[in-house]
Chains A and B, each alone.
Chain A
Amino acid sequence: MGDQAGRIVVANVTKTFGTVRAVQDLSFTVEPGRVTGFLGPNGAGKTTTMRVVLGLAEPTSGSATVAGVPYAQLPHPGRTVGAVLESTSFHPARSARDHLRIYAAAAGVTDRRADEVLAMVGLTPVAGQPVKGFSLGMRQRLALATAMLGDPAVLILDEPANGLDPEGIVWLRGFLRHLAHTDGRTVLVSSHVLSEVEQTVDSVVIIAHGHLVHEGTLDELRGERAVGVVVQTPTPETLVEPLRSLGATVTRAGEHGLQVTGASAATVGHAAWEAGVELHGLREEASSLEQVFIEMTEDVPAPVGDAAPSAQPAPGTTA
């Protein structure tokens, strides 16, 4: 397996449904030993991409590999990759333990492993109960347990925080970070809300309208934040002109406040002192990561296949 072990490589993947291109020429790599957030607004193509990686959907063009090979060619897929997909896959009348034993047999692991993963996600007390009585959070835990059956090196989770209560989200965060940082596994976790996974992920792959918009560490993303200055003063109007003459952008923020970008706190403070303006507050404020994320994913134009008559159809596409 060499250095390919546990790495997910998506290479120039395009996936077309009829005339809609859900994913377009998407390439990124997910490394082991860290939690990678797969982010984008709803409909950006996250689930489609994951389904392509998992061999549940054929890419129209391009390829996706796990541990160096396409999913369908993995010798023991269940022992290499564990997946939690967005809507849960259970027979309602079956107990949690029976559910796990069915897939334990298919994955080639023992029934004892089924009990181990039940304990791992904290479902042992309800192991004998039918899944139909489970809350969404319990179903997510059971899906996670199913994914862990084969002790896989790679975990792919689609919106795993959906339906979890705050306590469950904290638990999931610790669980995923442990799997990546302590065990050295590859963890890819999708979300449409960056703040939901901000404290969980080390790296991010951000897509919008099927295109890649950003790939890198969370710290790199933090570096992209715009920094502004918030000023509190009883006479904001007297400060607007002096700041604008310095090239800063100034907007009113409430009755006694200004929002300034393009100038540091020191510059703003100096300008106020020179103009003799009384200050009640002066602080630098970075925009939130969520804002960066929203701006990044907003600017991308929607590539709609049928809206561009001159566009060549993607290879393998039939109308």
Chain B
Amino acid sequence: MSGLLRSEARKVTTTKLWWGMLLGSIAFAALGVVSQIATNGLKNNPALPLNDPVTQRAIFSSAVSGYLFSVVVGIILITTEFRHFTSRPTFLLEPRRGRVIAAKLLVASAVGLLYGFADVAVSVAITVPWLSAKGVSVGWLSNGLVIVMVGALFVIAIFAVVGVGVGVLMRSQVAAVIATLAYLFVVEPLISVIPVIKEAYRYLPGAAGGALTGVSRNQVTLLSNWQGGLMLLGWGLLFAFLGWLLTVRRDIA
């Protein structure tokens, strides 16, 4: 398994994908944080002032925007194998294909953690000097910011695992990316406003991720943060398992 992990890690580091997407992730995280701070106090913005704990939590939770790139990186890491047929030498050297998927999930989670660290670090680097320039003190512990930051880190990391899961299941790179983005930005928000199935919303991947930072959409009650994290991870592993069951176990092109 260690050889397999090394092989999978080398696949990540030998193309430019990981750092290109990392830059994208950081940019999104920064954009989220900047927009929260910059729009605070504007006439039509109902947000509470910058020294309010709710506002400070919202600012730090915005780093989570970088998850968009971690889920896509997860999708690409696995679907590129099918796209360029590198799945063949991979599965020839390890015919127990479930182990390959497991190694891929582990390496993707490491990449996701890196993205999470980077995104949270950027949110701190922007927020701390900006707020201190405005004379606002940051309540790391009193305002629960540390928990929000750790939550954001894990959302970003776990979404890389979800990406691998979706990629294993769908195999087509373009289809997997489009389906994932359409789901997260269109389908799930729609579900969150439909009265009857609204109750199930909190268990869905996007809402489970939202639970980690405790910032809710449409006033729906979310899971607790650790429940949300496990739920999201469960979705990722479920997709990967289904992918293994339905496609990867079978004949390889």
Contacts and interface: CB of A to CB of B under 8 A. Distances in A.
A72 B14 contact: no
Nearest to B9: A105
Interface stretch (B86-94, B216-224, B234-242): B86-94
A99 B10 CA distance: 9
B11 interface: yes
Contacts of B252: 51, 56-57
Interface in A20-34: none
Contact of A78 (B11, B92, B251): B92
Contacts of A78: 92-93
Contacts of A74: 95
A146 B89 contact: yes
Contacts of B90: 103, 106
Interface in A88-102: 88-95, 98-99, 101-102
Contacts of B16: 93
Contact of B88 (A85, A93, A108, A150): A85
Interface in A33-75: 51, 54-58, 71-72, 74
Interface residues of A, number: 34
B95 A89 contact: no
B225 interface: no
A41 to B, nearest CB: 22
B3 interface: yes
A54 B89 CA distance: 11
Given A93-B16, A95-B14, A98-B14, A83 B92 contact: yes
A304 interface: no
B84 A108 contact: no
A77 interface: yes
B55 interface: no
B196 to A, nearest CB: 39
A107 interface: yes
A61 B109 CA distance: 40
Contacts of B88: 56, 85, 89
A57 B92 CA distance: 11
Contact of A102 (B14, B87, B91, B251): B14
A129 interface: no
Contact of A93 (B15, B85, B96): B15
A57 B251 CA distance: 4
A89 B14 contact: no
B27 to A, nearest CB: 22
A56 B251 contact: yes
Contacts of A150: 93
A105 B100 CA distance: 13
Contacts of A146: 89
A153 to B, nearest CB: 15
B40 interface: no
B175 to A, nearest CB: 20
Contacts of A55: 91-92, 95
Given A93-B16, A98-B10, A56 B85 contact: no
Given A88-B85, A106-B89, A146-B89, 15 more contacts: A54-B92, A56-B92, A56-B252, A77-B92, A77-B94, A81-B92, A87-B85, A91-B15, A98-B10, A103-B90, A105-B6, A105-B7, A106-B7, A106-B93, A150-B93
26 contacts: A51-B252, A56-B251, A58-B251, A74-B95, A78-B92, A78-B93, A87-B85, A88-B85, A89-B86, A91-B80, A93-B16, A94-B15, A99-B14, A101-B10, A102-B7, A102-B10, A102-B14, A103-B7, A105-B3, A105-B7, A106-B4, A106-B6, A106-B7, A106-B89, A107-B93, A146-B89
Interface of A: 51, 54-58, 71-72, 74, 77-78, 81, 83, 85, 87-95, 98-99, 101-103, 105-108, 146, 150
Interface of B: 3-4, 6-7, 10-11, 14-16, 80, 84-96, 250-252
What are the 6 A-B residue pairs with the smallest beta carbon separation, nearest first? A106-B7, A98-B14, A105-B7, A72-B95, A105-B6, A89-B85
